[in-house]
Amino acid sequence: MKKIVFILLSILALSCTSRELAVMSYNVGAFSKYEKYSLPDVADLIRQQGCDLVALNELDSCNRRHSDFQLQRLADELGGWQYAFASAFPFAGGAYGNGVVSALPIGQTFRLALPKGDGCEPRSVAIVETDRCVFASVHLDFMGEEAPLAQAKLINEWFLARYSGHEKPVLLCGDMNSLPNSPVISTLEEVWERLSPLSFTFSTEDPHACIDYIFSLKSAAPVKVTEARVLTEGSGNLSDHFPVFLKLRY
């Protein structure tokens, strides 16, 4: 009964005092898949879309492949945005992982380590709390069957324990390395609602798979999608993934 009341009150609040949020999920491939360094162009793309929050995958941090802290550099390029990085594992003398850049002030941040299992490498989730939503960036494993499924299950458990009943929307974004009808996505959809379109996000050279998504936690505050696009124009030479973009009302 309490859950029903919460949902009804949330829907009523959404209809009475709605606000908009523009978000993006993007596997940037360390800004070096096809261009020498695509970071400035990715920053331009983010600005053009008017994003409030962006989830990013495959980021280098102060390693031998890229000596700079890529997430910080992107935040600076955007004019001093705030950011949070979640290292997945040490790499080439530095680190490699996921991150969030935000035009909104960031409060608490969390790094959720995911089980490696039979996968190819450790994985992580970068989570930020803002005054408008909770926003998370994740990159699930592509190898094996047990690892990505165990990672999805842990994500469900952790977010339900912390944010079920939350008064703000809770968004999970990233490269899930799984097709829409896979056990991994089915597991996530037990507690998350898919907001992003089922359009091909990989690869930019040969688009054939939808593996990048944005989800909303069902048991937190609801959102309404007012615009949903995979940005295929102007991004094909920036990474091997296309970015996913949403406008939300909440």
The pLDDT value given to residue 3: 52
Q: What is the pTM of this model?
A: 0.90
Write out pLDDT tens, residues 155-212. 999 999 999 999 999 999 999 999 999 999 999 999 999 999 999 999 999 999 999 9
Neighbours of 1 (CB within 10 A): 5
- Round to whole Å and give the CA distance between 62 and 69: 5
Angle made by CA atoms 57, 83, 194, in degrees to the nearest 5: 50
Amino acid identity, residue 36? Answer: K
Q: Is 48 left (phi over 0), alpha (psi -120 to 50) or beta?
A: alpha
Those residues of the chain that have pLDDT short of 50 are: 5, 7, 12-16
CA 123 – CA 114 distance, rounded (Å): 5
Position 4 scores a pLDDT of: 52
Structure tokens at 56: 């990013």
Domains of the chain: 2-249 (3.60.10.10)
Amino acid 64: pLDDT:
67
124 in Cβ contact with 112 (< 8 Å) = yes
What is the reported pLDDT for 15? 47
**CA gap 58, 74 in Å, rounded:** 13
How far is the CA of 80 from the CAs of 3, 46, 177, in angstroms? 40, 14, 31
Residue type, 121: E
Residue with tokens 């050279």: 205
Q: How high is the pLDDT of residue 16?
A: 47
Return all residues near 71 (Cβ < 8 A) that are at least 6 apart.
Answer: 56, 59, 61, 83, 85, 99, 101
Residue type, 231: L
User: Measuring CA to CA, how many Å separate 2 from each of 6, 148, 165?
Assistant: 6, 33, 10
Q: Name the one residue in this structure whose structure tokens are 């408008």.
A: 132
Phi, psi of 68 (to 5 degrees): -90, 165
The tokens for 8 are 């009804």
